[in-house]
A and B are shown apart, each in its own frame.
Chain A
């Protein structure tokens, strides 16, 4: 039904755009331009204790093409990580984000780099959308020096301080109080920025979330709690873990919004709305209805608790990249071939980054002791005779 709706709206708007698109075809470039375009989201927003934003999203060809490229890059990156894991170049835990790219990309489109994002361990794509390079991603996954955390963090610990990406956390739910702390710091410094604290449907049952939400509402913090509901907490379906799976309503006195997380434009609209709301009225909860194609992590096949039909069904009907592709094609913003070329480009970029990352060396043995403590007042780890500093801080 979603597809027919999209087709209907596309045909309506394409008739409006016909004269423009023919002008465009004279000097078509894949980067698009900034001429405004209005698209309807696939499903309306559902709200709790607030007015839902409008379904019509303002966008432009350039943005749509950027969405396509970024999501294609993320998808390729995650699939490449899958192969690297199977080749044993990535060890330990590896949680892949493919299927959920629209959340990262849509959120980024609505905010600035001064706003903070903090998420859990499914953080590769969020890191990239915040400005991280592919080299940093793959090098960190393989534990090399060129990684964003110098190889000492791993898949679950990607951080990028200069673009306010606060990670990357392994313990389920622990990042939400941290996120409220970031919002507190923003309020303290009167920054007029907000924090997006992302968590999953599994983490939504953690007590510390409600504690942090209570404090955020009390102190009027600009915190936006985003539940990326992919319907499975590892192997447990949401209806088996939550008495009330309406996560956006869980705030009770805190307003909430349910968003189709596979629609990047809906995500963008919701995040824009949430940012305005948080700066004026304090915390708000966003529930992104999304889906992950891979299992919870690389050690989970992902098929013991759900059917392959379900996975392929979602892939056919709701895939975020396909949705943007159809939007672009129906609005004549690029040809089929051009989009395929973008995908090829992206694939090459990923391959190049992997090759470069493979050349990066493993960390030096002395790196074991660096960054345990920060330099500061009387903080060196001395050896027993105090003459030799055992942990030399950089």
Chain B
């Protein structure tokens, strides 16, 4: 489903996603339907009820336009390649988003370990220090607690820092600052201070990185009131979410994944953002709703191939917004398919899936034909051995089995 957002000076965003690099299904491209303005909005958030079907031949859809009317991309001065947009890897998309925002707004600065001269441990901040200087791209000592606190303090005055945790797991040291100061200062000051900070970093289970470097912090942060959490999964939404997070007045935690940094995709040349609290329809379907985010999206899509061959029609939604959940998209899907499978990478206990189950059951219980199934990682520290590590996360075969069980 498509949404157009018109904020002050912001380019509109279209959240329909082109297919990812793991192979595409039947996609049909269509322009947006007429939309209705929602009453009572203090700024014009306009939603369309149209469904988006994407191009059948698997070509990248080109819906990324900066105004409401779906005009054909007329970039006569486009690149030499016949397709519009440009191809890049996910970490480059993040870097592009960051660079564009730093150019656009002088208050944006980056803080983190090895983000400056080294270029970033995952190259997300490569080249930025040379371009913007040492005062805007700051190499910090290894002191997460204090530099996160400093980022929040700077944000209180109106600066817009982007704080990088070299690995999300290290941000546990800054938990107090993120929770009590980042999340709550807007409330406890009665609205006097806003904290427009972005906290980002890679997390998730990588390739045998060991227990302490394979953490999924979304489950720990999700209860903090006042913050928003988003997880990116493709170069397109990585850039869009990065830009939206920087422009947001609220503290946003952007979860990236260590294994997704080298995904390649073609993204548009124009300025675009992704709506922060919106889910992405990856593959529309009829039989079952599969909710997922980050790396598990790819496992789900792989399983979807097998499922389609077996005759099932799964609807895959990348929830993207981990806090708050996009219950509108999810709800519409549940009302259509009546079966829900959640596939996530965080732990079973107290994870995003657990909260999602509660939210769906509370709101859509009448629409469910079967209990919600949730596949999560095992409640164990991630082992080093490769074979064991594989078993801690959800594999495509398990997803297929789960769908078959659900659809009985």
Contacts and interface: CB of A to CB of B under 8 A. Distances in A.
State whether these chains interact. yes
Given A182-B156, A188-B109, A377-B5, A384 B141 contact: no
Nearest to B324: A381
Nearest to B189: A159
A178 B156 contact: yes
B249 interface: yes
Interface stretch (B270-278, B375-383, B391-399): B270-278
Interface of A is mostly: loop
A374 B251 CA distance: 9
A26 interface: no
A12 interface: no
A171 B180 contact: yes
A79 to B, nearest CB: 26
Contacts of A150: 190-191
Contacts of B199: none
A336 B192 CA distance: 42
A174 B277 contact: no
B327 to A, nearest CB: 4
B181 interface: yes
Nearest to B334: A384
B157 A182 contact: yes
B222 to A, nearest CB: 14
B138 A219 contact: yes
Given A208-B145, A211-B141, A372-B187, A184 B177 contact: no
Contacts of B194: 374
Contact of B190 (A148, A178, A377): A148
Given A181-B154, A185-B154, A377-B247, A386 B190 contact: no
B45 A378 contact: yes
B250 A379 contact: yes
Q: How many residues of A sit at the interface, in one of the four size bands?
A: 35 or more
Interface stretch (B36-44, B66-74, B120-128, B309-317): B36-44
Interface residues of B, number: 65
B143 to A, nearest CB: 4
Contacts, number: 199
Interface string B274-307: 0111100000000000000000000000000000
A360 to B, nearest CB: 13
Given A181-B152, A181-B156, A182-B153, A382 B327 contact: yes
Contact of B158 (A149, A169, A185, A208): A185
Interface centre among B143, B191, B250 (most CB of A within 10 A): B191
B75 interface: no
Nearest to B153: A181
Contacts of B196: 374, 376
Interface string A164-200: 0011111100101111111011111100000000000
A377 B276 contact: yes
Contacts of B40: 389, 392
B225 A372 contact: yes
Given A178-B149, A178-B152, A211-B141, A373 B226 contact: yes
7 contacts: A168-B188, A174-B176, A174-B181, A181-B150, A181-B156, A189-B157, A382-B328
Interface of A: 116, 118, 147-154, 157, 159-161, 166-171, 174, 176-182, 184-189, 207-208, 211-212, 214-215, 218-219, 370-387, 389, 392-394
